[in-house]
Amino acid sequence: MLGTSPAVAVQVVSRTWTRDAHDLFDFEASDVQAEAFTVQASATYIRSGSRVQLAGDEKEEICDFGGTDMLARIVERAGGYWVERPLTSTSSKNLWVIIRDVAPAGYVLREHDIIKLGRYKFRIRQLVGTGQESVPPMLNDSEPSVCCPISSDDGLESRCCRICLSDECSEDDPFIAPCSCKGSIKYVHLGCLRKWTSSLLSLGDSSSDSYFVRPLSCELCKAHYPMDFCKGSMRSPLIELPRMQPPYVVLERSTRNGRGMHIVSLAESCLVIGRGHESGVRVPDVTISRSHATIRYEGGQFLLQDQASKFGTLVAMRRPQEIQALRPLSLQIGRTVLTMSLTSGSIPVAMPGLAHRQGAHPEQCQLQPQLPHQQPWRREEAAVQQQSHLDWQHLFELSQEERPVSPSAEEVPLCLRLTCEQVTSSC
């Protein structure tokens, strides 16, 4: 018993994919174990195998379930219900918000959000809206650093550029110390460094609306190069990148060769992320759909939208989420999906895709297979295969009324003969 029935409770439907593959959930799979619960007090959801169970909020009661995965915790606080990470969880699994359920029209992105597509993760490094033409792309984790020219009265009599080996400099091409190297390799000409980094990026004078770069660092000391070069009141980018037309987004992605940045402009069209060759950000992986998700700029906001992908588009939940009325909350934890909505504590609510039977235990509720999108008369034939007690003569009348195109003389007897044989054999 979880307590007396309050005026408001939380209706929870859990769906667990029976396969365990990279903590993914296949939204098109049929081998899914579903269960339904009504939460009327603080509680913790745990999973043992493919079975989801409800435990009390007391630490001793949770510890009784050994060898299980702690999924999520529902907390009753200030007259509402909140979802957060379990208190005693040692699992590294994050709580991911399912975009297709929570925000089907578009999820508002913020900087430092982590999105997951299939088994790949992206971090929103930077969002630059319209009217911010002077903001350059940010490639380093820290705040934009500044490199200044080396003064002539720093006590050093001899300097040498480590790239061109020249000891001469000018006002337009001064010596700088952009990294942590010491000794004779400390100094480099500003122009020499820019030419060197430009050859590494291989961008040239590209006018494309997207490109991919990696954070540049010194090959010797591995220190990241600063973002800007400052000389008096003049400030300019140290590493020259193609100018990007706002609005644009900077996505950080981990690759085999380290981290990389996708810098994509949304001025002309939305960004498509997927496996297809026409995608703006292409990820050649089997867990990524051809057109997996899109990012668009609308009303001063960057909106992430799922494109009916197989493994879904997710955003990491960074803080506890409140379950709001008329706005169900769907979370994915590993291969389990929890769908939560507020409802009356005394009235059961039928959730989509779940068959609720009167007096049935929640663990006995299973997902009902949906009939394929067929023509009406073929849909009736599929229904007869599931309900053998349906009168075949009534099927004939329905097929004559709903059939969009009159079938041939040979087709009708064949359909009816097959249907009649199925009904007779089942009796």
Whether pLDDT at 260 is above 50 = yes
DSSP letters for 2-56: --S--SEEEEEEEEEESS-STT---TT-S-EEEEEEEE-S-EEEEEETTEEEEEE
Q: Which residue has the higher pLDDT, 392 or 121?
A: 121
pLDDT at 356 over 80: no
Domain boundaries, the chain: 8-95+317-364, 103-137+244-310, 140-206+213-242, 376-426
Q: Which residues pair with 96 in a beta bridge?
A: 316, 332
Looking at the chain, the whole-number percentage of residues with pLDDT higher than 90 is 38
Question: Is residue 211 scored above 80 in pLDDT?
Answer: yes
Indicate the range of 22-36, 87-101, 253-267, 370-384 predicted with least confidence: 370-384
Which amino acid, residue 21?
A
For the stretch 310-347, pLDDT in tens is 999 999 999 999 998 888 999 999 999 999 999 875 44
More confident residue, 244 or 376: 244
* Most confident residue range from 107-111, 197-201, 220-224: 107-111
- Where does the pLDDT of residue 257 fall: very low under 50, low under 70, confident under 90, or very high at 90 and above? low
CATH 3.50.50.60 is right for the domain spanning 140-206+213-242: no
Q: Find the largest Cα–Cα distance for the chain.
A: 105
Confidence of residue 285 (pLDDT cuts 50, 70, 90): very high
Q: What is the DSSP letter of 362?
A: G
Main-chain dihedrals φ then ψ at residue 152, nearest 5 degrees: -75, -15
- Tell me what the mean pLDDT of segment 236-265 comes to: 83
Q: Which residues are CB-neighbours of 126 under 8 A, at least 6 positions away?
A: 111, 137, 138, 249, 250
pLDDT given for residue 414 in this prediction? 45
Least confident span in 80-84, 202-206, 208-212, 385-389: 385-389
pLDDT band at 200 (very low <50, low <70, confident <90, very high): confident
Scanning the structure block, which residue is given the tokens 């295969």? Answer: 385
pLDDT tier for residue 372 given thresholds of 50, 70 and 90: very low
Other beta carbons within 10 Å of 200: 13
pTM of the entire predicted model: 0.70
267 vs 248: CA distance, rounded Å: 7
Question: Which numeric CATH code is attached to 8-95+317-364?
Answer: 2.60.200
Q: Return the percentage of the chain with pLDDT > 70, whole number.
A: 69
C-alpha count within 13 angstroms, C-beta hemisphere, residue 65: 23
CATH of 103-137+244-310, one of 2.60.200, 3.90.1720, 2.30.30, 3.10.350: 2.60.200
Strands 281-282 and 271-274: parallel
Most confident listed range (143-152, 155-164, 171-180, 292-301): 292-301
Least confident of 68-82, 144-158, 279-293, 382-396: 382-396
pLDDT for position 399: 45
What pLDDT, on a 0 to 100 scale, did the predictor assign at position 379? 43
Residue 242 has pLDDT above 90, yes or no: no
Tens-place pLDDT, residues 401-420: 444 444 444 444 444 444 44
- Is there a shared CATH topology between the 8-95+317-364 domain and the 103-137+244-310 domain? yes
Spatial CB neighbours of 203, under 8 Å, sequence gap ≥ 6: 211, 213, 241, 242
DSSP-assigned states of every residue in 163-226: TT------SSS-EE--SS--GGGS-EEHHHHHHHHHHHHT-TT---SEEEE---B-TTT-PBPP
Confidence of residue 400 (pLDDT cuts 50, 70, 90): very low
Is 360's pLDDT higher than 80?
Answer: no
